[in-house]
Chains A and B, each alone.
Chain A
């Protein structure tokens, strides 16, 4: 390869080889910053004060809220990638939403488990189907699992990408439902206290560790997503080269 791998304009990212070079440079730095933020975030999570009513269970918030935030952000990243697949037929967009689905499923499951572990001591129940927030997040988890299954069921990667892109965009309707479920319906789950038009209503003592942990989790997601996209590109190269090897072998047999 003699041509430069430098990315000078956004469209250069369309070249998977250039993308791979960029990921190779970015991932170690992102991983280092993520680890540093987790160290600070975990220190703050366990050294700041507990809540006067909830006691130390408020510390569950520092993993529960970032996990829930990532569950929705990951789906939004997938929806944007799905637009890239359907409108521009961009192979990197296909790779992006395929690589993001297992990460989204993991963070959604984490939000559900930590929410349950917070609900039991504070609400007196692990789970209730009558709560719109809980149920809509559970539906999001099922959608992630469905998308993973769909991607695995279709062999042709570009066909799998188009079918899942349509499904992702249809399912995106669930994201505003999750966000506003606590406003639209009566729920056990509390209303928003951080992302509000009139500013956060949460005490700075809790807001500081929460924001550091949210940033750490967000960077963790992007580090893993970029690395998983690189893995998916490698997987497709392996498949393409195996097909080429099979063609060469059959040509030799015929000769």
Chain B
């Protein structure tokens, strides 16, 4: 292969960048899931997942989205 340095470096950089992106997205998701599980374990649940019989905490008008 001629110009092997330029060709292989290009593919190497592309592979490294793609793997970094995949690792970042995957690890970020795992960390967020762990945080949610910890909150859940300490009794903090999303309002929509709370049992209907339990009185909902009074709203202060500052609903959060997502």
A interface with B by C-beta (< 8 Å): 1, 16-17, 50, 55-57, 59-60, 63-64, 67, 91-92, 95, 102-103, 106, 109-110, 113-114, 117-118, 120-121, 158, 220, 224, 227-228, 230-231, 233-245, 247-248
Contact = CB atoms under 8 A, between A and B. Distances in A.
Contacts of A67: 14
B49 A1 contact: yes
Contacts of B9: 117
B65 A230 contact: no
A245 B44 contact: yes
A248 to B, nearest CB: 7
B18 A118 contact: no
Interface in B31-64: 32-33, 35-36, 39, 42, 44-49, 57, 60, 64
A245 B38 CA distance: 12
Interface residues of B, number: 38
A238 B29 contact: no
Contacts of B45: 241
Given A91-B66, A236-B65, A114 B36 contact: no
Nearest to B66: A236
- Do most interface residues of chain A lie in helix, strand or loop, or is the interface mixed? helix
Given A224-B25, A230-B29, A158 B65 contact: yes
Contacts of B42: 245
A59 B7 contact: yes
A242 B3 contact: no
B17 A110 contact: yes
Nearest to A59: B7
A110 B66 contact: no
A110 B14 contact: yes
A60 B10 contact: yes
> Across chains A and B, which 5 residue pairs bring their CB atoms closest together, nearest first?
A234-B32, A240-B64, A236-B66, A63-B14, A55-B2
A55 B4 CA distance: 10
Contacts of B17: 106, 109-110
Given A224-B25, A230-B29, A236-B66, A60 B6 contact: yes
Contacts of A230: 29
Contact of A56 (B2, B22, B47): B2
